[in-house]
Structure 1
Amino acid sequence: MDLGVRWKLHGDGKVPAPGAVVRPDERLSWPRTAGLGAQHVVAMFGASFVAPVLMGLDPNLAIMMSGVATVIFLLATRGRVPSYLGCSLSFVGVAAVIRAQGGTSATVTGAVLVVGVALFLVGLAVQRFGARIIHAAMPPVVTGAVVMLIGFNLAPVTASTYWPQDQWTALFVMLFTGLAVVCLRGFWSRIAIFLGLVFGYVLSWALDRIFGKIHSVDGSGKPTDHWRLDFSAVGQADWIGLPSFHGPSFEWSAILVALPVVIALIAENAGHVKAVGEMTGDNLDDKLGTAISADGIGSVLSTAVGGPPNTTYSENIGVMAATRVYSTAAYWAAAGFALLFGLCPKFGAVVAAIPGGVLGGITVILYGMIGLLGAQIWINAKVDMRNPLNLVPAAAGIIIGVGNVSMEFTDTFSLSGIALGTLVVITGYHALRAFAPAHLKTQQPLLDEGTSSYDAKTGSGGAGGDGGGDGGAQRARS
């Protein structure tokens, strides 16, 4: 059985020829391949380490399980889809909502484990029936609205939890990170979040030396005098050791909050497969279902032992685009480095010590970017918001999600925010479509451009709600 773990040496193994690419089944020399693997790990440092900290989970376990998930993904796709699977930021808002309802880390990981199972089942369905079933259930107008409300639902977390801990550090980190994203080029722009973290660390240390302790709310929300950067736990941490494992706990209220995120994960995986296919020149549509299922399995294994869920990373797409090296051997090397990092508790303690003000500055950009990916999905798919069939469910669901609107059904069961907003978008769109006149309805092409009958009737050029695009979030993330 071909598991995609045999690679041909590309050229002399040193530098690709001008204009040439190193294909997934090729590799450079092993030292260069190891270096590229380390580069991929660094590229996902920022988001993949910020996410578990924001979710209240062990960063050591997060990085270790990201390596395990990457290995599973590479084996499942037979080495045809180069990818690194890191902690998904899409679940940060879910974790915040669950914890606000009194949930523990076990409750968070239990809810996300169910999402992993759902993602796995969706992948099997795509393998059996094709990706058209995704487009039929979740056209771009629905996917974009759900991604948007997930991102913007996080705004109160930044405003009430992180920013108040050190507003000036947050402001300067936000400015620095924004400049890094916009002004840097190539690989450096891809690790802008990581550079923002480093800048925030240095700035917090300098402010502690110059001004002493700060009087502000701490991570628990209680006003107190505290150091911006507290490395006390780092000194106590061992250099070598296992991360902190724990089992999941399942509660219906938490599961219902988490399930809508499966939509974002489907879009992210579809986007990654599409983007890699375009860059390598391979038609990878037959691997879409496998990729989705593999991500689901990786997330299930990670959350079963107390880690966060995983997803494909656009940062690594950027590294491949910049280096023109698509070798899956580099990703095996990256997975190996991730496993080693996971066995270093001192490294995890450094990550866990990220000051609240630094997180405030980064999450202002990060959360906003997640929300605006939803708008990018609409743009790529040419969703026409003049069409009331698109406008009404998206508008209602986004306001419910962003405003955290709540519906109480019984004394013990209610829906709010992300869960309720997603339900309104999906059911609202399909219910309205069932009753809508023919001229408001559109064609449903699969991951490619489509022409809306609504546009044809009104004389506009864009596609409507079901008008294809290329999978929405794939372009946004790549």
Structure 2
Amino acid sequence: MSKPILDVHDKPAPLQFIALSFQHLFAMFGATILVPFLVDLPPSMALISSGLGTIAFLLITRFQVPAYLGSSFAFITPIIIAQTAGGPGAAMIGSFMAGCVYAVVALIIKKAGYRWLMRLLPPIVVGPVIIVIGLALAGTAVDMAMNETLANGSKEYNPLFLSAALVTLSVTVGFSIYAKKVFSLIPILMGIVAGYIYSMFVGLVNFDPVKEASWIANPEWLIPGVSYDIAVTPQLVFLMVPIAVVTLSEHIGHQLVLSKVIGRDLVKNPGLHRSILGDGVATIISSLIGGPPKTTYGENIGVLAITRVYSVYVVLGAAVVATLFGFSGKVTAMIQSIPTPVMGGVSILLFGIIASSGLRMLVDNNIDFGDKRNLVISSVILVLGIGGAYIKFGPVLEIHGMALSAFVGILLNVILPGRPSADEALESLEKIS
């Protein structure tokens, strides 16, 4: 490990502080605003909730874990299903419950350690579920890239839309492959910028809302009991809880990788229970104001690795700036003016990367598909999740595809003989990120 330029508790000089904070802001920006764009939530709340969630995370981890929390892609499909069934309020209630799952697991880990979680979530379960998370969104990405929504609600192929998507995708791929240092960590942002500029020239951008927006504006808050009625249903529980259990493995993987990057054992100090609790509290805060669930971002861990600046104060600065941006009407209007095919173009690569990371996890861990146990578990998870299977229990309870596949995968792993040891599962989690 190289010697850090700024260690975890070092304070940068004022100008250095601003520049380094904006690096982290740019690293998370593209992905964080994409999630609310896909699930029809206010982008201002995605920025505010990511900022407040990161601040809460830093406080809970005693300013020892330099991690930034942005919007989680794992919950996109469950949020869309929840919104369809019960409106934005249902999605927020489901997100709140997901955050509570993190809090409960954190408490159990503090008392009983985390080896039990490793055995519950080996690569043969987590890998296929991650593949499902990516591929279940493939149709959405392609539809955004190709089709224009007409006034009557129907879809129509639009070659201009496709051209904007291809420009966006090409630039994103180019930065992913050829860019160096920090620029290699912001391909999503650079792709969106390039696609936006192209869309301006071909007439796909409407600047009127940006011109009319004020610099300072009150965001679109979604407050429980005020903006919507609170109603917890079994369907919401089974929709969100299985996904929250699986995304815990992503969190643990990030903490293991981050520990290697900064040269500190974060699993022991401040403790995995604290970082998981911080992630859960960030998601709870987000759900109470109208933002999507939160997760630690690999892009920001990459910024730490490249710059060798591990200061929590830099991450805190990025969180404060993100929160302030959420209160800017101009910034929000600019985000909302991004054409749909631009977001579709970047989504094609991003959702594919999510699916590929699940495949990579299986490859890196030498999962033997000649083993009937592995073949059965992965096959069932993939078909149930991508196929959109669901189970109905009466008129009020449904368990949908992604959540159902995660639940069935965990169940099969528990009941079928030949489960891997906790140590084997722990080693695999480092390869998620």
TM over 0.5: yes
Report the Cα distance in structure 1 between the residues aligned to 2:362 and 2:13, rounded to whole angstroms: 42
CA contact (8 A) 2:283 2:293 kept: yes
* Amino acid of the structure 1 residue aligned with 2:103: F
CA distance in 1, matches of 2:48, 2:59: 17
Out of 108, 111, 114, the residue aligned to residue 128 of structure 1 is 111
Shift in Å, 1:176: 1.9
Asked if 1:141 is matched to 2:85, the reply is no
State which of 199, 202, 205 in structure 2 corresponds to 1:204. 199
> Which residue is equivalent to 2:218?
242
Instruction: Write the deviation string for residues 80-132 of structure 1: whole angstroms up to 9, x where unpaired.
Output: 11011111122222223334x34311111111111011111112212221121
Residue 443 of structure 1 corresponds to 421
Q: Does 1:392 align with 2:376?
A: yes
Return closer, same or farther for 1:30/1:264 CA change in 2, 3 Å cut-off. Answer: farther
- String of CA shifts for 1:316-344, please: whole Å, max 9, x gaps: 11111111010111111111111211110
Partner of 1:343: 327
User: What is the DSSP-based 3-state SS (H/G/I as helix, E as strand, rest coil) of the residue aligned with 1:408?
Assistant: strand
For the 8 Å contact 1:163–1:356, the answer to whether it is kept is no
1:267 matched to 2:249? The reply is: yes
Structure 1 residue aligned with 2:154: none
- The alignment's C-alpha RMSD in Å is 1.9
Deviation for aligned residue 1:300: 0.3
Matches within 5 A, 1:295-310: 295-310=279-294
- Structure 1: 4+ residue segments shifted above 4 A: none
Larger radius of gyration: 1
Mapped partners of 1:159, 1:254: distance in 2: 28
1: CA distance, partners of 2:330 / 2:278: 30
Structure 2 residue matching 1:267: 3-state secondary structure = helix
Mean CA deviation greater in 358-367 or 150-159: 150-159
Inter-partner Cα distance in structure 2 for 1:43 and 1:159: 24
Correspondence list, 1:215-294, <5 A: 228-248=204-224, 249=230, 250-286=232-268, 287-294=271-278
From 352, 355, 367, the equivalent of 2:351 is: 367
Contact 2:210 2:330 in 1 (8 A): yes
Q: Is the 8 A contact 1:269 1:288 kept in 2?
A: no
2:141: which partner in 1? 158
In the superposition, the TM-score normalised over structure 2's length comes to 0.90
The separation in 2 between residues aligned to 1:106 and 1:55, in whole angstroms, is 13
8 A Cα contact 2:172 2:190, kept in partner: yes
C-alpha distance in structure 1 between counterparts of 2:114 and 2:258, whole Å: 17
Answer 1 or 2: higher relative contact order, Cα 8 Å, separation at least 6.
Answer: 2
Give the match's secondary structure for 1:476.
coil
Q: State which drifts further: 369-378 or 292-301.
A: 369-378
Offset, 1:468: 4.0
1:174 aligns with 2:132: no
Out of 2, 18, 23, the position equivalent to 1:34 is: 18
1:419 aligns with 2:403: yes
Structure 1 residue 325 corresponds to structure 2 residue 309:
yes
**Structure 1 unaligned residues grouped into runs of 5+:** 1-17, 209-227, 434-439, 451-466
SS of the counterpart of 1:89?
coil
Q: Equivalent residue of 2:202, what SS?
A: helix
- Structure 1, 160-169 or 270-279: larger mean CA deviation: 160-169
1:262-318 Cα deviation digits (max 9, x unpaired): 134312221221112111221121221110111101110111121111111111111
Amino acid at match of 1:242: N
CA shift for structure 1 position 388 = 1.5
Identity of aligned residues (%): 29
Residues in 1 aligned to 2:131 and 2:86: alpha-carbon distance in whole angstroms: 24
Counterparts of 2:7 and 2:38, CA distance in 1: 36
The alignment partner of 2:414 has SS state of helix
38-47 or 153-162, larger mean C-alpha shift: 153-162
Q: Hey, what does 1:456 align to over in structure 2?
A: none
Q: How many residues align?
A: 412
Separation (CA, whole Å) in 1 of partners of 2:234 and 2:368: 36
Q: Is 1:469 matched with 2:427?
A: yes
Q: What secondary structure does 1:299 align onto?
A: helix
Structure 2 unpaired stretches of 5+: 149-160, 225-229
Native 8 Å contact 1:241 1:343 kept in 2: yes
Structure 1 residues 152-182: Cα deviation after superposition (integer angstroms, max 9, x where no partner): 1111222334531322221222222112111
Q: Find the counterpart in structure 1 of residue 156 from structure 2.
A: none
- Please report how far the alpha carbon of residue 423 of structure 1 lies from its aligned counterpart in structure 2 after TM superposition: 1.8
For 1:120 and 1:131, how far apart are their aligned partners in 2? 14
- Paired AA for residue 210 in structure 2: V
SS at match of 2:74: helix
Does 2:102 correspond to 1:113?
Answer: no
Matching of residue 89 in structure 1 with residue 73 in structure 2: yes
Give the aligned partner of residue 185 of structure 2.
Answer: 190
How far apart are the structure 2 equivalents of 1:39 and 1:172?
Answer: 24
What is the letter of the counterpart of residue 149 of structure 1?
A: V
Work out the CA distance in 2 between the residues paired with 1:345 and 1:124: 40
Distance between the aligned counterparts of 2:362 and 2:110, measured in 1? 26
User: 1:45 is matched by which residue type in structure 2?
Assistant: F
